[in-house]
């Protein structure tokens, strides 16, 4: 496990899709989250192009970084360390929690 953490720390930055948010958001191995360029249809029928950007991270009361993601009118918050672990670390035993080291 330590080897994986060291490899992630010194690897070039790579973005991958966030599970269940493919085409909307991506997370990097450095803990950044970005939205992707996309076209949305407003209630009035007009279409609008949204430019992708790096999202601003927030800190919860426990000191963990998190981000809010939205899709199809619903919103949810996710801890950054969990998003990075799901995207980049193998979990052969399907463990539900992540113990992180910054």
User: Residues 64-72: contacts with CB within 8 Å, 24+ apart?
Assistant: 65/31, 67/33, 69/18, 69/21, 69/24, 69/25, 69/33, 71/20, 71/21, 71/24
pLDDT tens-digit readout, 10-20: 778 999 999 99
Question: Is residue 8 helix, strand or coil?
Answer: helix
pLDDT tens-digit readout, 1-43: 667 666 666 778 999 999 999 999 999 999 999 999 998 888 8
Average pLDDT along the chain: 88
39, containing H or E segment = strand 38-41
* Integer Cα distance of 13 and 10 in angstroms: 9
> Residue holding tokens 């994986």?
4
């Amino acid at each position: 496990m330590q080897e994986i953490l060291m490899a992630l720390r010194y690897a070039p930055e790579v973005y991958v899709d966030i599970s269940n948010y493919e085409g909307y958001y991506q997370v990097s191995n450095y803990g950044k989250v970005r939205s992707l360029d996309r076209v949305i249809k407003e209630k009035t029928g007009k279409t609008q192009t949204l430019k992708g950007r790096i999202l601003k991270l927030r800190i919860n009361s426990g000191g963990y970084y998190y981000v809010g993601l939205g899709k199809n009118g619903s919103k949810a918050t996710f801890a950054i360390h969990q998003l990075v672990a799901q995207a980049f670390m193998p979990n052969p035993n399907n463990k539900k929690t992540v113990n992180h080291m910054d």
